[in-house]
A = this chain, B = another copy of it.
Amino acid sequence: MTAQSEAPVADETFHRIYAEVLQFYARTMQLLDAGRAADWAESFTEDATFAMPSRPQPVRGRDELTAVAREGAAGLAKAGEVHRHWHSMVSVEPGSDATLAVRCYAQVVATKLGGSSRLHRICVCEDVLVRGGDGRLRVRSRRVTRDDLA
């Protein structure tokens, strides 16, 4: 994904973009939670960065993102747990440079197979979304912070 292939989004009407962003989070986090690591990584630009609390350096690019997601899925399978990501309270600010700045809350809810559910992590997620040449939104940069580490 190059800057040149990004179509402007700021001139679209807000309600249209807002529904698209909610659908984007629903679809892509469902992919992550289903263990479809490579499909999830496709929701990022090729050169995307993802700064996550558990790593000292941001994860860069789809190969690294896929690897991190696979590692997470393997750990959950071993632990007999299902994790679900709930993005909510989504605030979308269209930028002047064809990007969307999103700030939202994220719950990671964990359920033990045969057991109970718990709030595993409460996070804030800050994304910069861009629209690719194929018209689809993708994450160019993501930064997640954890409330328990704030």
Counted per complex, copies of this chain come to: 3
**Residue A87 CB within 8 A of the other chain:** yes
Scoring A residues 1 to 19 as 1 if CB is less than 8 Å from chain B, else 0, what string do you get? 0001111101001111011
A121 touches B131 (CB 8 A): no
A18 touches B23 (CB 8 A): yes
Q: Which residues of B contact A79 (CB under 8 A)?
A: none
Q: Which of B90, B91, B117 contacts A121 (CB 8 A)?
A: B117
Minimum C-beta distance from A35 to chain B (A): 12
Chain A residue total in the interface (Cβ 8 A): 55
**At the interface with chain B, which of A24-32, A37-45, A52-60?**
A24-32
Q: Which of B26, B109, B116 contacts A91 (CB 8 A)?
A: B26
Residue among A87, A147, A149, A150 facing the most chain B CB atoms (10 A cut-off): A147
Main secondary structure of the interface of A (DSSP, over half): mixed
Q: Which of B6, B30, B82, B119 contacts A7 (CB 8 A)?
A: B6
B88 touches A148 (CB 8 A): no
Q: Which residues of B contact A133 (CB under 8 A)?
A: 4-5
B90 touches A22 (CB 8 A): yes
Residue among A89, A134, A148 facing the most chain B CB atoms (10 A cut-off): A89
With contact pairs A4-B4, A122-B84 given, residues A91 and B148 touching in the complex (Cβ less than 8 Å) = no
